[in-house]
Amino acid sequence: MPKKATRTKRERDPAATRQRLIDATVRLMVQQGFSGTSVDQICRDAGMTKGGFFHHFENKEALGLAAVEWWGRMGTALYAEAWQDTSLDPLKQLHRMFDIMAGFKRRSDEAVVCMVGMMSQEMSATNSAFQAACARELNLWTENVARMLTAAKKQHQPKTKFDPMQVAWFLNSLWQGSMLIGKTCRSQELIRHNLKLARNYVDGLFQAN
């Protein structure tokens, strides 16, 4: 009887039901992509019927876009730990962000992946809605890094002239590319090594204290 009551309460919580669908979509699409994931698989993983699916989302594309948006919010919340202490030296904030990225690991036998990066590769050339959604998330990451680099320039003497936004895009490209290559080559160490090089590169932009 308690089990039935719990199920009924969950069915009456549209926000929780919607999130179950998003969670299932993220789990499946980071493993097999958008095209390789069917509505039937999502429903099965979420423990829902197709009727329940279409009550919350018009189609798989709408759910995929919601999943990209959720991933972006989740990732930004994790990265925000790097800059939430406003008293911290902005260069130290960047160091902390590299540490956060180097610590990403789902399971020992699984690659570090980014749903935004995966959907960018698979969908941007053929779907303008996905292109815009992924671009928005990539821009947000870049803007946050550029903001810390700009603050670092004000506090530390630059060793060379550089545009914080250009450097931030370089670091974003390195991060996304490292996850792609790390996944393909099945090497988590490669990702951590690249992030160490990226950190050294950023430090090299400034005069040593």
Q: Check which CATH number belongs to the domain holding 74 and give it.
A: 1.10.357.10
Please, which pLDDT band fits residue 105 given cuts at 50, 70 and 90?
Answer: low
Average pLDDT of 51-55? 93
The verdict on 144 and 176 lying in the same domain is yes
User: In Å, what is the CA distance from 33 to each residue of 27, 112, 133, 149, 208?
Assistant: 10, 15, 16, 33, 44
The verdict on 88 and 188 lying in the same domain is yes
Whole-number Å distance between alpha carbons of 77 and 51: 33
Q: Please determine, for residue 1, whether its predicted confidence score (pLDDT) is greater than 50.
A: no
pLDDT in tens, 74-84: 999 999 999 99
The verdict on 110 and 128 lying in the same domain is yes
Name the residue among 66, 75, 84, 98 with its Cα closest to residue 175: 98
pLDDT in tens, 2-41: 444 444 445 568 899 999 999 999 999 999 999 999 999 9
- Domain-located, residue 209: no
Q: Please determine, for residue 133, whether its predicted confidence score (pLDDT) is greater than 80.
A: yes
Q: Please determine, for residue 118, whether its predicted confidence score (pLDDT) is greater than 60.
A: yes
The verdict on 122 and 192 lying in the same domain is yes
Question: What tokens does 125 get?
Answer: 């050339």
Q: How much is the pTM?
A: 0.89
Q: Domain holding 21: CATH number? A: 1.10.10.60
Q: Please determine, for residue 109, whether its predicted confidence score (pLDDT) is greater than 60.
A: no
The verdict on 51 and 71 lying in the same domain is no
The verdict on 47 and 82 lying in the same domain is no
Supply the pLDDT for residue 131.
Answer: 98
**In which domain, by residue range, is 189 found?**
67-203
Q: Which residues lie below 8 Å from residue 192, measured CB to CB, with a gap of 6+? A: 102
